[in-house]
Amino acid sequence: MKLAVAKEIEMGENRVALIPDTVARLVKQGIEVWVEAGAGERAFFADEAYTAAGAKIISDPYTLWGEADILVKVSPPQEREGRHEADMLREGAVLVGFTNPLGNPALAQRLAQRHITTLSMELIPRTTRAQSMDALSSQASVAGYQAALIAAAAAPKFFPMLTTAAGTIAPAKVFIIGAGVAGLQAIATARRLGAVVEAFDIRPAVKEEVQSLGAKFVEVKLDEETVAEGGYAKEISEVAKQKTQETIAEHVKMSDVVITTAQVPGKKAPLLVTEEMVAQMKPGSVIVDMAAEQGGNCACTQPGKDVRYNGVTIIGSINLPSSTPIHSSQMYAKNILTLLQYMINKEGELMLNFEDDIVKNTCVTHAGEIRNQKVQEALD
């Protein structure tokens, strides 16, 4: 079986799907691994390191894509020199990577029509059993860390309290909205830098996690269920939105830095920080909006841009994991390796057991069909 590692061509994408260490493990299992020349370059993994791990370096992308039995990558297939990568795979091949199936169901349709089996890393179930394959969590964790660092670098103030001969500096006040995987890592990083941190989430269950990181949990008592299946947030009612906005407004106003991470799976990100709230912030304050690509949590956000509004800098961050490419690739590679090892039998063949919840959830297209109902509905 030939397993190919593609070079990412998406602008600003520095990650690679497998690193030399994980390649070595697959080679040891008897799998032939092909790596596109330069695939790991932007994550600082040289072709020579892949060769030493037992991989074959392939310079021609058409050979790599066209002959792979399984192709692993990070970002979704896209146009490449006038051809779409989805059309470069042979019929019956398996594609593993982030494919944005709910955001771009047309790609899933294209892959289904080409009889490609697609395993979408976004759809790995968020269960304990699949934890080591959970690429959304590994990458969100990197993103949360980066968001805190970006905020600290952009703030015209120190994060820690300093007692110096030139006077005492008060610590920065950081408010984090959304305490999921990314939010918790942002809290931990901001705390390590010495900031005073508060966090808000509509899921009350995160209170203890927030507190265990040394941050204060901002509570809003809502008279409705805010947690959906799988522990995710639910879209809340207009009354609940109004109530949370009042609390958010109070805390945004007092903060030097606001980091927003709030998302509801399959929906546009909730708008939580209004223009009016931004206008009430102190000049020099910073907002890092991690939901920028999903529409943004802040009304002033522009994805991929830094915006200045009344002296407040709003950073519409995109693809943050790409800016820590060694570790984000290492973690993603581990997620992919675990998924592959889970599905590959002793004889080195890929077995797709559709009775298994990990395979059933992750497999978006197979044998000419879209197998995921939500993706099918998004197309209709």
Residue in the block written with tokens 């042979």? 90
Q: Considering the complex, state which of residue 155 and residue 236 has its C-beta at the smaller distance from ligand NAD.
A: 236
Please tell me which residue in 78, 131, 294, 323 is annotated as part of the active site.
131
Interatomic CA distance for residues 243 and 71, integer angstroms:
47
Residues 107-126 that bind ligand NAD (CB under 6 A): 126
Residue 244 or 330 having the CB closest to ligand NAD: 244
Catalytic annotation present for 131 = yes
Cβ within 8 Å of residue 16, ≥6 positions away: 5, 7, 8, 39, 40, 42, 43, 45, 74, 325, 329, 333
The residue from 137, 245, 319, 338 that contacts ligand NAD (CB under 6 A) is 137
Q: Which two tokens stand for residue 136?
A: 């959304």
Site of tokens 């394959």: 133
List 104, 109, 113, 127, residue binding ligand NAD (CB under 6 A): 127
Considering only the stretches 258-266, 317-325, 354-362, 364-372, report the one whose residues sit in contact with ligand NAD under the rule CB under 6 A.
258-266
Interface with ligand NAD includes 54 (CB under 6 A)?
A: no
**67-99 exposure pattern, b = at least 16 Cβ within 10 A, e = fewer:** bbbbbbbbbbbeebeeeebbbbbeeebbbbbbb
Position 148 contacts ligand NAD (CB under 6 A): no
Rounded to 5 degrees, what are φ and ψ at 123? -100, 10
The nearer residue to ligand NAD, 263 or 328, going by C-beta atoms, is 263
Q: Which one of residues 17, 18, 33, 140 is an interface residue with ligand NAD (CB under 6 A)?
A: 140
Distance CA 166, CA 70 (A): 61
Among 97, 180, 321, 325, binds ligand NAD (CB under 6 A): 180
145 in catalytic set: no
CA distance 335 to 331: 6
> Please, which residue, 234 or 327, has the CB nearer to ligand NAD?
234
Q: Which strand (E) or helix (H) includes residue 315?
A: strand 312-315
Nearest-CB residue to ligand NAD? 180
Q: Measured between alpha carbons, how far apart are the two ends of the chain, in Å?
A: 36
Q: Which is nearer to ligand NAD, 79 or 208 (CB)?
A: 208
The total of other beta-carbon atoms located within 10 Å of residue 219's CB is 11
**Minimal distance, residue 269 CB to ligand NAD, in Å:** 8
Q: How far is CA 200 from CA 18, 70, 117, 118, 286, in A?
A: 35, 42, 40, 36, 17
The question of whether 232 is a catalytic residue gets the answer yes
* Nearest distance from C-beta of residue 317 to ligand NAD, angstroms: 14
| CA–CA gap between residue 253 and residue 337 (Å, rounded) | 45
- Tell me how far, at minimum, the Cβ of 146 lies from ligand NAD, in Å: 15
Q: Does 233 help bind ligand NAD (rule: CB under 6 A)?
A: yes
CB 191 within 8 A of CB 213: yes
Nearer to ligand NAD, 18 or 236 (CB): 236
To the nearest whole angstrom, how small is the minimum distance from the Cβ of residue 189 to ligand NAD? Answer: 15
Is residue 114 a contact partner of residue 87, using CB atoms and an 8 Å limit? yes
Please, which residue, 324 or 365, has the CB nearer to ligand NAD?
Answer: 324
Catalytic-role residue among 126, 191, 192, 203: 126
- Verify binding: residue 78, ligand NAD, rule CB under 6 A: no
The answer to whether residue 263 forms part of the interface with ligand NAD (CB under 6 A) is yes
User: Known catalytic residues?
Assistant: 126, 131, 134, 137, 232
Residues of this chain that bind ligand NAD (CB under 6 A):
126-128, 131, 134, 136-137, 140, 177-183, 200-203, 231-233, 236, 244, 261-265, 270, 272
